[in-house]
């Protein structure tokens, strides 16, 4: 299955969830109706107790409205509570946000692993939360989309897992982000909360009945207490039906996704010992993966592992048995779990080091000089969407490790991260640069200008190919901006971009990738709703986009024509379209095209992205500009495209761009 198939599978799981939910609702209404009919029989006639009348429309209407209202209001309340996405879930579990500038070794190592996986996956670096009160080994990913995702990890996992095991766990959680599991999981919390409220009401009715019994047991008060006791007991039993279905729904949605995430983690890291070692340590730890937070049961379906040292099994388990998961990874596992000790912390450690068993790139991509060729294999890009390979992870580690130390620190500091963005937009010299300097001084102040000017030469040293990965990392430090701070930052970026009266391709890329992502996170801007299920209504947008992409790769009109026609032959094989002249291609046209294409269905997006890759690869050479625009297209379509990695097709750095 590819990325788009995984997204469709998650969508189908949503409908399965709705079906189970409806069945649970009907079962609870029916059970409550039967109880109400028995507790409130028709009035006696001539002193004789009548037989129960099983069809009582007024009681059926009441029970339907009562259960529907309680469940609906309970679910709506929880959904509203979780509208903050992953951060809401982390807060619910008592998570503490890790400061991107932390100097704690364990926390720094964790952030490095998360950064490497994010850059390798082509998604923003998610905020990281630590559950300080949890000494077991567990983790989770939560959010509605990659733009608001968070990674959470227990204190026990942080202290007891070595780097490879930690990377295996994080890779597992990234699989949930990339395969669309998070949105389904967080919806599951909201919907099931309404079902669980029925059991909670039964519990409080029993308490009220006990209180009533303490105050008096005779006369009408005693009878009322008895009825209340029976009603509370009945509602608690009915609530147990809801609990049964809630656990059944979670198990139906979760178990196979856990196997997939385990397999994906191995593909990401090329190291089965990492995730297998983490699972074995869970089995050997007294507390296993058990969380102590009050909401632990609520999130049981979305954590790395659920339960104690021995894994839950049977119909209602949200995760496969622990031993079974391990044997799928390590067929030679004998069932014996190791004694668990804290992982050793080196006194002096290079946190961005590459393990010696993995090859280093001869020349880090970010440091390639202009005019040199860069290895690239775009033919593998489509298959890597949502499924980054170990080569992508190695690449991201090497690229981040090749950045100057001062620059790496700046990317993680909220103040300096803004200055990194400003420095990326500065002109090298001349009148335009002076206008930009004055703008920064007026809007941001002297300290900001000094930091921006100090970072500028470090960015040139890092190289143009490192710009997009740096944008991925910078976002992690900027997501804590308030809405007012974001709007101020946005105005400064807009002023720097428009200082020369035009928008370059990279300036468009930065605004599209960074500013749009920040807007989604900070302003709760949701992705556009699906509107187009076929390509016919999008033909003009496709022509605009493919024309700009074809011109970006080469100044030669014939080569651009060939790339354009090759892409359109795959995308719209029965129709004839002409390549737009270079002068008619602009970032405005690309922006409008991407806005419309973002409203396409999963199938439409897959076809468009495939055609874009074919267009880029038509001449067997991929420029840095093409790679950046391709990543921007994928990002706009909510398709996490990994960065370019070593392969047989070369890429070259060229000064031209398609749009101004």
Q: Point out which residues pair with 373 in neighbouring strands.
A: 652
Residue 358 confidence (pLDDT): 42
- Taking each helix axis from N to C end, the angle separating 57-81 and 3-39, rounded to the nearest 10 degrees, works out to 140
Residue the block writes with tokens 């007294």: 286
Q: Is pLDDT of 352 > 60?
A: no
- Of 148-152, 254-258, 405-409, 454-458, least confident by mean pLDDT is 254-258
Residue 526 has pLDDT above 70, yes or no: yes
The C-alpha atoms of residue 540 and residue 550 are separated, in whole angstroms, by 15
Residue found by looking up tokens 């469940």 in the block: 71
Better-predicted residue by pLDDT, 389 or 628 = 628
What confidence score (pLDDT) does residue 647 get? 47
* Best CA proximity match to 427, nearest among 413, 418, 439: 439
276-305 average pLDDT score: 88
The share of the chain scoring above pLDDT 70, in percent, equals: 83
Question: Residue 621 above 50 pLDDT?
Answer: yes
Q: Is the pLDDT of residue 251 over 80?
A: no
Whether 205 shows a pLDDT value over 50: the answer reads yes
Lowest mean pLDDT among 205-209, 576-580, 607-611: 205-209
Summarised one tens digit per residue, pLDDT across range 14-33 is 666 677 778 878 888 888 88
**Which of the two residues, 327 and 218, has the higher pLDDT score?**
327
The pLDDT-based confidence of 659 (bands split at 50, 70, 90) is very low
d(CA 264, CA 519): 30
CA dihedral 247, 250, 253, 258 (to 10 degrees): -110
Q: Specify whether 134 is catalytic.
A: no
CA-based nearest residue to 221, from 236, 209, 235: 209
Distance CA 383, CA 2 (A): 7
> H-type helices in 163-309, by residue range?
163-178, 181-215, 219-269, 272-284
* Per-residue model confidence (pLDDT) at position 350: 44
Return the pLDDT at 6.
53
Number of other residues whose CB lies within 10 A of the CB of residue 17: 19
Q: Which two tokens stand for residue 2?
A: 């590819």
Q: Among 114-128, 301-315, 332-346, whose mean pLDDT is lowest?
A: 301-315
DSSP-derived pairing of the beta strands 150-154 and 373-376:
unpaired
pLDDT tens by residue, 490-504: 999 999 999 999 888
Give me the pLDDT at residue 385, please. Answer: 74
Give the separation between CA 235 and CA 202, rounded to whole angstroms: 5
Mean pLDDT over each residue of the chain, to the nearest integer: 81
Q: Which residue has the higher pLDDT, 138 or 235?
A: 138
pLDDT (0 to 100) of residue 310: 40
Burial (CB < 10 A; 0-12, 13-18, 19+), residue 260, is middle
Q: Residue 317 and residue 306: Cα distance in Å, rounded?
A: 9
pLDDT category at 46 given cuts 50, 70, 90 is low
Q: Which of 87, 115, 173, 398 is catalytic?
A: 173
């Amino acid at each position: 299955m590819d990325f788009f198939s995984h997204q469709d599978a998650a969508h189908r799981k949503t409908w399965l969830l709705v079906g189970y939910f409806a069945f649970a609702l009907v079962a609870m209404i029916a059970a409550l109706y039967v109880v109400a009919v028995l507790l409130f029989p028709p009035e006696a006639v001539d002193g004789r107790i009548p037989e129960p009348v099983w069809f009582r429309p007024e009681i059926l209407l009441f029970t339907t409205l009562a259960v529907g209202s309680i469940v609906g209001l309970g679910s709506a309340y929880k959904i509203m509570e979780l509208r903050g996405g992953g951060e809401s879930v982390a807060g619910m579990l008592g998570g503490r946000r890790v400061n991107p500038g932390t100097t704690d070794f364990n926390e720094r190592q964790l952030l490095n692993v998360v950064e490497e996986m994010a850059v390798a996956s082509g998604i923003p670096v998610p905020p990281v939360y630590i559950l300080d009160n949890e000494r077991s080994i567990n983790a989770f990913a939560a959010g509605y989309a990659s733009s608001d995702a968070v990674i959470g990890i227990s204190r026990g996992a942080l202290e007891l897992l070595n780097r490879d095991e930690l990377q295996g766990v994080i890779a597992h959680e990234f699989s949930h982000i990339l395969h669309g599991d998070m949105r389904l999981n967080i919806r599951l919390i909201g919907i099931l909360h309404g079902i669980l409220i029925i059991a909670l009401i039964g519990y409080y009715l029993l308490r009220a009945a006990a209180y009533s019994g303490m105050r008096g047991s005779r006369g009408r008060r005693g009878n009322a207490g008895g009825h209340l006791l029976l009603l509370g007991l009945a509602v608690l039993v009915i609530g147990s039906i809801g609990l049964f279905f809630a656990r059944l729904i979670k198990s139906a949605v979760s178990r196979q996704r856990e196997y997939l995430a385990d397999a994906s983690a191995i593909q990401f890291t090329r190291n089965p010992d990492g995730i297998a070692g983490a699972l074995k340590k869970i089995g050997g730890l007294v507390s296993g993966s058990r969380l102590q937070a009050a909401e632990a049961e609520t999130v049981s379906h979305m954590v790395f592992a659920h339960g104690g040292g021995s894994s839950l099994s049977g119909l209602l388990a949200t995760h496969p048995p622990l031993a079974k998961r391990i044997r799928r990874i390590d067929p030679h596992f004998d069932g014996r779990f190791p004694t668990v000790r804290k992982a050793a912390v080196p006194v002096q450690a290079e946190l961005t080091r590459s393990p010696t068993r993995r090859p280093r790139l001869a020349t880090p991509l970010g440091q390639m000089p202009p005019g040199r060729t860069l290895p690239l294999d775009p033919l593998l890009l489509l298959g890597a969407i949502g499924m980054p390979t170990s080569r992508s992870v190695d690449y991201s580690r090497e690229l981040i490790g090749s950045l100057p130390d001062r620059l790496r620190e700046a990317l993680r500091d909220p103040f300096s991260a803004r200055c990194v963005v400003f420095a990326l937009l500065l002109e090298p010299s001349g009148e335009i640069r002076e206008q930009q300097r004055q703008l920064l001084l007026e809007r941001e102040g002297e300290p900001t200008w000094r930091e921006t000017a100090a970072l500028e030469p470090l960015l040139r040293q890092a190289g143009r190919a490192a710009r997009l990965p740096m944008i991925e990392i910078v976002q992690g430090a900027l997501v804590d901006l308030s809405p007012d701070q974001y709007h101020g930052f946005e105005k400064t970026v807009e002023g720097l971009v428009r200082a020369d009266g035009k928008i370059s391709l990279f300036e468009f890329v930065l605004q599209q990738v960074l500013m749009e992502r920040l807007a989604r996170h900070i302003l709760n801007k949701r992705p556009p709703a699906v509107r187009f299920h076929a390509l016919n209504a999008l033909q003009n947008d496709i022509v605009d986009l493919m024309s700009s992409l074809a011109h970006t790769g080469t100044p030669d009109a014939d080569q651009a024509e060939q790339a354009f026609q090759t892409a359109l032959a795959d995308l719209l094989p029965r129709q004839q379209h002409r390549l737009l002249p270079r002068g008619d291609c602009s970032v405005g046209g690309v922006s409008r095209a991407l806005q419309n294409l973002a409203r396409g269905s999963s199938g439409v997006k897959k076809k468009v992205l495939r055609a874009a890759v074919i267009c880029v690869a038509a001449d067997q050479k991929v420029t840095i500009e093409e790679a950046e625009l391709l990543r921007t297209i994928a990002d706009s379509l909510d398709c996490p495209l990994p960065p370019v990695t070593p392969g047989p097709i070369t890429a070259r750095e060229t000064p031209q761009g398609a749009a101004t």
